[in-house]
């Protein structure tokens, strides 16, 4: 549970401290007052990453060189320090109680589940969004997964570079063997963990009697599959099979939600997915994650707001809204006005 966060040159905040109750905190403010930025900073303290910026230095205030996030979580102090760096090489430092940590050891101490309007992209946008979802959830609860994904991605870059050298420079193909084995070993772990998560999600009940499910579209990696694509891979200078090509399809009563679902049904599909994520993280971690809800109530109808509020009440939740009336109907919540 997070009790306090101190932001220094983080996005629009020069120097600001926010405190959070162990139940629900509602951050209220007009558009562009910094509500999403506060949630992003909490997310960064949890994962070491942004849920929004593709480049982490975007989180540094326009007029500053260094951004700091310092969060008090239980008895620990989690810190993220970002710099623009020299010659366009930005740096990131992660610290727990003042001691520098690698990402694998930093993420997973403080667990959050974030849900905002951009999550609709999970249904409608490219497979990389859906792989990102799987990685984010599994990384929160499984250190071995964090290690495997970093190792796989690094191996993939090396293997693609080697494929390029085989094509362009005639480098010997036998060098591929090492990378094949590394990718197969880590790839098997990633696929198994992803399958486990998708199976768990599929056991989650219907919401408001709407029956959603996920189909795992797995790109298996093995010696046989790599051998099958060997010629194409060298021609393309890129690895064509493996978890980096995974995807999943959302279904509503067996139909493809991205193609046939209404906007509202797609939104419910994402809500269903997020509730399943919450249950998964809670079960695997053995404790309740903090919920970060960015401006989602305005998009939900009455029944679905009730579904969300029922979950919110049993966990630490930090909610943003631009609607001051929203707060009036809520009892027992702390309010932060921006």
d(CA 290, CA 169): 52
Q: Does 50 bind ligand ATP (CB under 6 A)?
A: no
Minimum separation from the CB atom of position 334 to ligand ATP (A): 18
Query: Residue 252 corresponds to which tokens in the numbers above?
Result: 């509503």
Q: Does 25 bind Mg ion (CB under 5 A)?
A: no
CB 306 within 8 A of CB 271: no
Binding mask 119-148 for Mg ion (x = CB under 5 A): ------------------------------
d(CA 104, CA 83): 20
Minimum separation from the CB atom of position 162 to ligand ATP (A): 38
Q: Does 36 bind Mg ion (CB under 5 A)?
A: yes
Please give, one letter per residue, the 3-state secondary structure of 110-132. CCEEEECHHHHHHHHCCHHHHHH
Q: Does 120 bind ligand ATP (CB under 6 A)?
A: no
Query: Of residues 14, 17, 19, 32, which one binds ligand ATP by CB under 6 A?
Result: 32
Q: Does 61 bind ligand ATP (CB under 6 A)?
A: yes
> Binding residue per annotation — 192?
no
Residue from 124, 182, 184 nearest 154 by CA: 182
Minimum separation from the CB atom of position 16 to ligand ATP (A): 12
3-state secondary structure of 269: helix
Give how far Cα 84 sits from Cα of 1, 45, 62, 63, Å.
30, 19, 10, 11
Q: Which residue is nearest to Mg ion (CB)?
A: 36
> Binding residue per annotation — 187?
no
3-state secondary structure of 313: coil
Q: Which residues bind Mg ion (CB under 5 A)?
A: 35-36
Binding region? 29-36
Binding region for ATP? 29-36
Q: Which residues bind ligand ATP (CB under 6 A)?
A: 11-12, 29, 31-37, 58, 60-62, 295, 322
């Amino acid at each position: 549970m997070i009790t306090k966060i101190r932001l220094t040159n983080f996005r629009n905040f020069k120097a600001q401290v926010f405190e959070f109750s162990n139940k629900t905190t509602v951050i209220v403010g007009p558009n562009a007052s910094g509500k999403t930025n506060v949630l992003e900073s909490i997310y960064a303290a949890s994962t070491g990453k942004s849920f929004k910026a593709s480049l982490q230095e975007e989180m540094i205030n326009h007029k500053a060189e260094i951004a700091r996030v310092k969060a008090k979580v239980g008895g620990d102090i989690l810190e993220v320090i970002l710099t623009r760096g020299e010659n366009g090489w930005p740096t990131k430092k992660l610290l727990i109680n003042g001691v520098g940590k690698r990402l694998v050891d930093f993420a997973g101490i403080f667990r959050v589940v974030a849900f905002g309007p951009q999550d609709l992209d999970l249904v409608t946008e490219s497979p990389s969004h859906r792989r990102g979802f799987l990685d984010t959830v599994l990384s929160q609860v499984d250190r071995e997964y964090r290690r495997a994904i970093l190792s796989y991605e690094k191996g993939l870059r090396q293997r693609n570079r080697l494929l390029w050298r085989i094509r362009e420079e005639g480098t010997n193909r036998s060098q591929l063997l090492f990378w094949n084995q590394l990718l197969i070993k880590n790839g098997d772990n990633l696929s198994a963990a992803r399958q486990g998560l998708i199976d768990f999600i599929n056991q989650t009940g219907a919401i408001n009697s709407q029956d959603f499910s996920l189909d795992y579209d797995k790109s298996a990696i093995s010696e046989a599959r790599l051998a099958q694509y060997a010629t194409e891979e060298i021609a393309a200078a890129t690895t064509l099979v493996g978890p980096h090509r995974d995807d999943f399809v959302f279904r509503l009563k067996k139909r493809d939600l991205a193609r046939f679902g209404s906007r509202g049904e797609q939104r419910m599909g994402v809500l269903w997915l997020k509730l399943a994520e919450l249950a998964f993280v809670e079960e695997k971690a053995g404790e309740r994650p903090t919920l970060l809800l960015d401006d989602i109530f305005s998009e939900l109808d009455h029944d679905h707001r009730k579904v969300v509020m029922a979950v919110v009440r049993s966990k630490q939740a930090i909610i943003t809204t631009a609607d001051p009336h929203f707060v009036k109907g809520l009892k027992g919540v702390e309010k932060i006005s921006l």
